[in-house]
Amino acid sequence: MAAMPKPSTQQQLQRLVEWLEHWTPVARAPDWSALAFQWRKRRVLGTEQAQLVAVRRIAGIAPEDLLGVDPQKAEILRNTEQFVRALPANNVLLTGARGTGKSSLVRACLTQFGERGLRLIEVDKADLVDLPAIADQVAERPERFIVFCDDLSFEPSDASYKALKAALDGSIAAGASNLLIYATSNRRHLMPESMRENLAAQYDAEGDLHPAESAEEKVSLSERFGMWLSFRSFRQEDYLEIVAHWLARFDLDSDAIVAARTEALQFALQRGSRSGRVAIQFARDYAGRRGLAKS
């Protein structure tokens, strides 16, 4: 029996390409009917693929459910409405105390303006290097996109730090006109600051202060956001007002809400914070315990 001829090198390469095409999933086009997306990455056969994945179950919240942050709420809703109307608008940095509604305010913008064409893209800090790719994907779309990065902070070695600086202001490539960046952080300047940097500041002969170059570098990123919104810790009255609001949402009457005040303060004391997040957690716990007792 005659031996089978060996396949040529070209045939072997063709078979290898066909095998790779079979086992490598093709990135699907985003489902543009969705209101929100996540930028996700995965490794396939040693290569990294990234795509916009539609979010089907959105953790939405209405602007009227956010209490104690009225000035900040008015500012971000105004800026977002300008953006939705294709008017000039700024990138936004929300900084301050934890649990005060920074992330919830961004999600409330989607609730408010989703029907008018606003879309939200959630991006992890490590993936900010992909901002140009995201901008390219949405540049020709009629919708208005907010790239949302939650709990943003950097170390000096982070590659995404310089990528975000360039995307905000400084890259030679123009960004998409239908895209803004909204970010939240507990740090005003997004990077840790050391006493050494403050000691390195210089005074000239006329007494003018010249910060150290490392400090200037850290401030330069936050300055590229056109709008800064600062959040403070809630007062006791603010905290109790938020508790009452959510207990009413859980169908408790006014007498039950008044009776819950002492427990609400004890709950906050145990957690060391009178934040909106703690208020909602207490309301869930209290309403759930009452419902369990009744049943």
Q: What is the DSSP string of the chain?
A: -PPPPPPPHHHHHHHHHHHHHHHSPPPPPP-TT-SEEEEEEEEETTEEEEEEEE-SS-----GGG--S-HHHHHHHHHHHHHHHTT-----EEEEESTTSSHHHHHHHHHHHHGGGTEEEEE--GGGGGGHHHHHHHHTT-SSEEEEEE-S----TT-HHHHHHHHHHTT-SSPPPTTEEEEEEESSSSSS---HHHHHT-EE-TT--EE--HHHHHHHHHHHTSSEEEEE-PPPHHHHHHHHHHHHHHTT--HHHHHHTHHHHHHHHHHHT---HHHHHHHHHHHHHHHHHHH-
| Tokens read off for 14 | 């063709």
Instruction: Tell me what the mean pLDDT of segment 119-129 comes to.
Output: 90
pLDDT band at 172 (very low <50, low <70, confident <90, very high): very low
User: Residues 133-161: pLDDT tens digits?
Assistant: 899 999 999 999 999 998 887 666 666 66
| Tokens read off for 85 | 């109307």
Left (φ > 0), alpha (ψ -120 to 50) or beta: where does 211 sit? beta
pLDDT of 122 > 90? The answer is yes
Instruction: Tell me what the mean pLDDT of segment 183-203 comes to.
Output: 62
Give me the percent of the chain exceeding a pLDDT of 90.
52
pLDDT of 216 > 60? The answer is no
